[in-house]
Amino acid sequence: MNPATYLYCMNGIVKREVLRFLQQRTRLLSVLVRPLLWLVVFAAGFRSALGISIMEPYSTYITYQQYITPGLGGMIILFHCMQSSLSMVYDREMGSMKVLLMSPMPRPFLLFSKLVAGAILSTLQVLIFLFITRLVGVDIEFTGYLYAVPAIFLIAFFLSALGLMLANLITQLENFAGVMNFVIFPMFFLSSALYPLWKMQEASAVLFWICQFNPFTHCVELLRFALYGQVNELAFTVVFSSALVTCVIALVTFRGRG
Angle between helices 64-94 and 215-227 (to 10 degrees): 130
Question: Which range has highest mean pLDDT (16-20, 73-77, 165-169)?
Answer: 73-77
Q: What average pLDDT is seen over the chain?
A: 81
In angstroms, rounded to a whole number, what is the distance separating the alpha carbons of residues 40 and 38? 6
pLDDT one-digit tens code per residue, 121-180: 999 999 989 988 888 778 888 889 999 999 999 999 999 999 888 888 776 666 666 777
What is the average pLDDT across 88-101? 67
Predicted local confidence at residue 140, as pLDDT: 85
pLDDT bucket at 90, cuts 50 / 70 / 90: low
Angle between helices 64-94 and 142-169 (to 10 degrees): 40
SS3 category, 85: helix
214: pLDDT strictly greater than 50: yes
pLDDT bucket at 257, cuts 50 / 70 / 90: very low
pLDDT one-digit tens code per residue, 124-133: 999 989 988 8
Q: Which residue has the higher pLDDT, 11 or 179?
A: 11
Contact 153, 107 (CB under 8 A): no
pLDDT one-digit tens code per residue, 218-250: 999 999 999 988 999 999 999 999 999 999 998
In angstroms, rounded to a whole number, what is the distance separating the alpha carbons of residues 30 and 16? 21
pLDDT bucket at 45, cuts 50 / 70 / 90: low
